[in-house]
Amino acid sequence: MRVEDIFHQPPPPNEHPCWEDPVLPSVLKRILPESVLQAIEPDLTRLGHDLINIVRPLAAQVRLPTITHYNAWGERIDLLQTSEGWRTLKNLAVKEGYISNAYERKYHEYSRVYMFAKCMMMTGDFHVIMCPFGMTDGAARLIELFGNERMKDEILPRLISRDPADSYLCGQWMTESPGGSDVSRTETKATPTTTSSTDLGAAYLLDGFKWFSSAAEGNMSVALARTGDLASGSGALSLFVVPIRFQSFPTPLSNNIQIHRLKDKVGTHGVPTAELSLNSARGWLIGGLNEGVKTIAPMLNITRIHSAIHSIGSLQRCLSIARSYATVRTVAGGKLLESIPLHMENLANITILYAALTHFTFGAVSLLGKSECNVATREEQARLRLLTPAVKGFTALKAVTAMEECMAALGGQGYMEETGFGRLIRDAMVEKIWEGTVDVMALDLIRATRDGYTLESFCQWAAKIISRSPVKSDALLLLQDVINQLPSLFRENF
Tens digit of each residue's pLDDT, the chain (494 residues): 898 888 888 899 999 999 999 999 999 999 999 999 999 999 999 999 999 999 999 888 999 999 999 999 998 888 899 999 999 999 999 999 999 999 999 999 999 999 999 999 999 999 999 999 999 999 999 999 999 999 999 999 999 999 999 999 999 999 888 877 788 889 999 999 999 888 999 999 999 999 999 888 899 999 999 999 888 888 999 999 999 865 554 455 779 999 999 999 999 999 999 999 999 999 999 999 999 999 999 999 999 999 999 999 999 999 999 999 999 999 888 899 999 999 999 999 999 999 999 999 999 999 999 999 999 999 999 999 999 999 999 999 999 999 999 999 999 999 999 999 999 999 999 999 999 999 999 999 999 998 889 999 999 999 888 888 887 788 888 888 888 888 888 888 77
Q: Where are the beta strands (DSSP E) in 10-112?
A: 66-70, 76-81
Judge contact between 194 and 204, C-beta under 8 A: no
Question: What radius of gyration do the chain's Cα atoms show?
Answer: 24
- Name the residue among 392, 312, 381, 367 with its Cα closest to residue 110: 367
Which numeric CATH code is attached to 170-291? 2.40.110.20
Q: In whole angstroms, what is the distance from residue 85 CA to residue 104 CA? A: 28
Q: Is the dihedral of CA 147, 152, 154, 156 positive or negative?
A: positive
Q: How many CA atoms are closer than 13 Å to the CA of 49, on its beta-carbon side?
A: 5
C-alpha 100/C-alpha 444 separation (Å) is 29
- Give the pLDDT confidence of 460-480 residue by residue, as tens digits: 999 888 888 887 788 888 888
**Could you give the CA distance from residue 339 to residue 72 in angstroms, rounded to a whole number?**
63
Positions of E strands within 232-371:
237-243, 257-262, 274-286, 330-331, 335-336
pLDDT at 252: 56
Strand partners, 210: 276
Q: Assign a CATH topology to domain 24-159.
A: Butyryl-Coa Dehydrogenase, subunit A; domain 1 (1.10.540)
The dihedral through the CA atoms of 351, 352, 358, 361 has a sign that is: negative
What's the pTM value of the predicted model, to 2 decimals?
Answer: 0.95
The CA distance from 437 to 131, in Å, is 16
The tens digit of pLDDT for each residue in 187-226 reads 999 999 999 888 999 999 999 999 999 888 899 999 999 9
Q: What are the Cα distances from residue 43, in Å, to 111, 140, 233, 269, 381?
A: 13, 24, 48, 30, 30
- Domains of the chain, residue spans: 24-159, 170-291, 294-453, 454-494
CATH class for the domain made up of 294-453:
mainly alpha
Q: At what angle do helices 111-123 and 341-372 cross, to 10 degrees?
A: 140
